[in-house]
Structure 1
């Protein structure tokens, strides 16, 4: 996982982990570092990612009392998370998982706690992946599911969020909806993401180097230029976007990109809040079971619940 690489990089650079980091977070980082990192075929990488999702996710499902079902919405495969006591007429959350656009590294672990803490049903889109389906395939899948949900739930009662690649997709989906003059969701969450694939940012340069990120971005973009506003919404209009929560961490290679998008949203007059965690790597909540992950999920859930409750009829 990327988290282990950043932990190693920080240690090599002589930057010890913060004293305040929990024992559970330290153990989670060590466990991630111990996972095999040998080169795999794409099928093997995806199977390994799914194994991690199931391992951590099944514990989460038991801990939080959430049920998970596989399904399809608008012909797109999804995972549906239903918390205890979820209201049929309540808000609905749409999740776009992380995984660098090539694997699914979050369709369970990103969503079980959020479903439980909000009390809202979560629909996780299992969008098409690269290299088989470059842009705009994943975005088209997200849009199809969003439009289907919007036929039964007022868009102002829909929250859209994602981590890493899913956060990038969340921004792209919002820009697409705005471009097509479709109703925007009531809230969005950009969790360790970016609004400009052409500018990885200073944190990426310092922690991982920009070349690997540019290669991932270009593989996803296919024939599109990385500065195309459809791929990089921060290069287009940001006025009128929904209330947005941005979350990152101090050893997150997408820290700069997340903060920059949040700042540009604020400058455009869209309500945007930025929360940063200390001493942890990219998207840590998706694969580390620790109090810091619990806190991150609580921040996300409070924002989504408060914002969508405020838009209630």
Structure 2
């Protein structure tokens, strides 16, 4: 993997999630500490330490290229990295349409069709404006669970503000639910995809629909109105597309920011983050909110690694994270029968 491309992907897979615009006064954030100069802990594997050091050594372009160029670049990265992962894991990726929404279906070895059995629904990361994970987030999980993964290629901001992406996710979820029932579906997403997955479950709960068997919520934010502590001392990706995603919807909306609604009906949830992830705080805050409402919420924090590392970083820790995810989702689907 080419180093500078990996580092750019590391930034673009992220989503900046502080309060923004829409009639609100954005507070001036305190200056971030220079995390790039901190020594990496010896708790990391040699590969993890090398990848984290490479990520810390390079800054994001300032200003960022136009969104059309970013999409082209990241699309090429997903294709290249996806091809490598397809080969490594012996999966098959198929472009399809479900409920009028384009999707990528990742089939594990020796599986030819979705059928009516258990399925995983992925909502990819990329700041609501890019697709930085519909292959890299899904291929390892399909292979490790032995279950098909449907990655929703939802409409992107700024051209399609909220609730366009949520409507697409709901449409695909509804079609899958009709064929197999909610308890045969598990939902997961990273970064912006985690945010969207939480919104999907919040919407289902608000309308009284059955919950999926499990939720994988990986480095996200369930309250778009505020900053967490980690965002004040760790640099984010350097851009904020949340206002463009939210459109005219207030950040306090209990679907847009699920923590501001009733989360007591959420399914068993696995939350992943890392100690050098700028979204460490909001991920942990959401885990606490779910636990306080009696939800089976499990928070796993990796040491010393950057935001959403499992989606792009070749290191043993990424394999460990993907194995945790696969085991959790598969076990919850099996237990929900």
TM-score for the superposition, normalised by structure 2: 0.86
Instruction: Report the Cα distance in structure 1 between the residues aligned to 2:191 and 2:42, rounded to whole angstroms.
Output: 26
Are the aligned partners of 2:104 and 2:150 in contact in 1 as well (CA < 8 Å)? yes
- 2:139 maps to 112
Give the deviation of 1:2 after TM superposition: 7.2
Give the deviation of 1:10 after TM superposition: 1.4
Q: How does 1:29-108 map to 2 (within 5 A)?
A: 29=52, 37=61, 39-86=64-111, 88-108=115-135
Say which is worse superposed, 196-205 or 251-260, in terms of deviation: 196-205
Does 2:334 correspond to 1:309?
A: yes
- 2:313 maps to 288
Deviations 1:169-196 (A, max 9, x none): 0100001011111111110010001111
Give the deviation of 1:200 after TM superposition: 2.7
Instruction: Report the Cα distance in structure 1 between the residues aligned to 2:178 and 2:110, rounded to whole angstroms.
Output: 23
Are the aligned partners of 1:4 and 1:30 in contact in 2 as well (CA < 8 Å)? no
Q: How does 1:12-23 map to 2 (within 5 A)?
A: 12=37, 15-23=38-46
Does 2:212 correspond to 1:188?
A: no
- SS of the counterpart of 1:143? helix
Give the deviation of 1:22 after TM superposition: 2.2
Deviations 1:174-227 (A, max 9, x none): 0101111111111001000111111231111111279x67x4322211111111
The CA RMSD measured in Å over matched residues stands at 2.2
Which of 131, 134, 151 is the aligned partner of 2:178? Answer: 151
Q: How does 1:143-222 map to 2 (within 5 A)?
A: 143-208=170-235, 215-222=240-247
Q: 1:193 to 1:307 in 2, by over 3 A?
A: same
Instruction: Report the Cα distance in structure 2 between the residues aligned to 1:35 and 1:80, rounded to whole angstroms.
Output: 34
Instruction: Report the Cα distance in structure 1 between the residues aligned to 2:70 and 2:78, rounded to whole angstroms.
Output: 12
Does 2:230 correspond to 1:230?
A: no
Instruction: Report the Cα distance in structure 2 between the residues aligned to 1:187 and 1:209, rounded to whole angstroms.
Output: 28
Q: Which has the higher contact order (CA 8 A, sep 6+)?
A: 2
Say which is worse superposed, 90-99 or 77-86, in terms of deviation: 77-86
Deviations 1:235-284 (A, max 9, x none): 00011210000000001111110111111111111111000100001101
Instruction: Report the Cα distance in structure 2 between the residues aligned to 1:155 and 1:222, rounded to whole angstroms.
Output: 30
Which of 240, 249, 271 is the aligned partner of 2:274? Answer: 249
Instruction: Report the Cα distance in structure 1 between the residues aligned to 2:115 and 2:83, rounded to whole angstroms.
Output: 25
Give the deviation of 1:31 after TM superposition: 5.5
Are the aligned partners of 2:9 and 2:132 in contact in 1 as well (CA < 8 Å)? no
- SS of the counterpart of 2:179? coil
Are the aligned partners of 1:249 and 1:282 in contact in 2 as well (CA < 8 Å)? yes
Give the deviation of 1:28 after TM superposition: 3.2
Are the aligned partners of 2:40 and 2:53 in contact in 1 as well (CA < 8 Å)? no
Instruction: Report the Cα distance in structure 2 between the residues aligned to 1:23 and 1:288, rounded to whole angstroms.
Output: 13
Are the aligned partners of 1:200 and 1:254 in contact in 2 as well (CA < 8 Å)? no
Unaligned residue ranges in structure 1 (runs of 5+): none
Instruction: Report the Cα distance in structure 1 between the residues aligned to 2:206 and 2:65, rounded to whole angstroms.
Output: 39
Instruction: Report the Cα distance in structure 1 between the residues aligned to 2:105 and 2:236, rounded to whole angstroms.
Output: 36
Unaligned residue ranges in structure 2 (runs of 5+): 1-7, 15-32
Give the deviation of 1:30 after TM superposition: 5.5
Instruction: Report the Cα distance in structure 2 between the residues aligned to 1:162 and 1:255, rounded to whole angstroms.
Output: 15
Structure number having the greater helix percentage? 1
TM-score for the superposition, normalised by structure 1: 0.92
